[in-house]
Structure 1
Amino acid sequence: MELRGDDVVLRPVGDGEGEVLDGIVREPEVAAWWSPPEDYEGMLAIVFEGEVIGAVQFEEETDPEFRRAGIDIFLTARHHGKGLGTDAVRTLARWLVRECGHHRLTIDPAAANTAAIRSYGKVGFRPVGIMRAYGRDHQTGLWQDALLMDLLAEELT
């Protein structure tokens, strides 16, 4: 699978790219929100101008009564604020809606991650509510709140 956005390409993580992604998730600006996963299998590399700059993943609920998909993303700090994360999320969201038939998508950034929340809002995600003590702060070990956001297919920008 290869998905093309306006500026980024999403494709399966290739051999040896796990090391690159490990370096990215250890950057202080990224490590504040992410901890290194056990492996990068099932993730899509975010490629910009031939360089892996992050990864995005999705999970799907396939029960017809509750069908939906969720998205998670991280991007090297060097490319924060350039719209590339927004492009990656929008590209994956379009595929999940148009090709996989999901009518609703969710994303759940830390409530304090205002840059991520702003980025997801540009794609069309809307705040649903605060999930209290949802995940651990990777630096302090304390529980932190997350903002549940969702997007209905007809709201996708």
Structure 2
Amino acid sequence: MELRGDDVVLRPVADGEGEVLDRIVREPEVAAWWSPPEDFAGMLAIVFEGEVVGAIQFYEETDPEFHHAGIDVFLTARHQGKGLGTDAVRTLARWLVAERGHHRLTIDPAAANTAAIRSYRKVGFRPVGIMRAYGRDHRTGRWQDALLMDLLADELT
């Protein structure tokens, strides 16, 4: 599977790229919001100009009564603020709607992650509400709030 956005390509993480992604997820600007995963299997690499600059993943609720998908994404600090994360999320969202038949997508950034929230709004995600004490900060052990956001298929920009 390879998905092409305006500027990024999303594709399965290749052998050896886990080390690159592990370095990215440990950058202070990324580690503030992400815990290092055990492995990167199942994630899609975000590739910009031939370089792996982050990763994106999705999960699917397959119960027909609650069918939807969720997205998670991280991007190296030196490429944040350039629209690449927005492009990656939009590209995956379009595929989830067109190819996987989802009518609704969710994303749940930390409530304090204003840059991510701004990026997701550009794709069309809207705030649903605060999920209190939703995720544990792996650095401090404290629980932090998250903002649940969703996007209906016809709202995708």
The two structures, once aligned, show a CA RMSD in angstroms of 0.4
Q: Secondary structure at the match of 2:85?
A: helix
CA distance in 2, matches of 1:107, 1:86: 13
Say if 2:35 is the partner of 1:5: no
2:100 is aligned to: 100
Question: Identity across aligned pairs (percent)?
Answer: 89
Alignment-mate amino acid for residue 116 of structure 2: A
2:21 is aligned to: 21
CA distance in 1, matches of 2:109, 2:41: 21
Query: How far apart are residue 139 of structure 1 and its match?
Result: 2.0
Query: Structure 2 unaligned runs (5+)?
Result: none
Alignment of 1:122-141 (within 5 A): 122-141=122-141
CA distance in 2, matches of 1:133, 1:140: 13
> Deviation string for 1:31-63 (max 9, x for gaps)?
000011011000000000000000000000011
Say if 2:66 is the partner of 1:71: no
1:51 is aligned to: 51
Alignment-mate amino acid for residue 103 of structure 1: H
> Deviation string for 1:51-92 (max 9, x for gaps)?
000000000001110000000000000000000000000000
Alignment-mate amino acid for residue 24 of structure 1: I
Query: How far apart are residue 19 of structure 1 and its match?
Result: 0.1
Q: Secondary structure at the match of 1:74?
A: strand
Query: How far apart are residue 11 of structure 1 and its match?
Result: 0.1
2:148 is aligned to: 148
In the superposition, the TM-score normalised over structure 1's length comes to 0.99
1:115 is aligned to: 115
Alignment-mate amino acid for residue 115 of structure 1: A
CA distance in 2, matches of 1:52, 1:31: 17
Q: Secondary structure at the match of 2:22?
A: helix
CA distance in 2, matches of 1:105, 1:80: 23
Alignment-mate amino acid for residue 148 of structure 2: L
Query: Structure 1 unaligned runs (5+)?
Result: none
CA distance in 2, matches of 1:84, 1:156: 17
CA distance in 2, matches of 1:58, 1:109: 14
In the superposition, the TM-score normalised over structure 2's length comes to 0.99
Q: Secondary structure at the match of 2:18?
A: helix
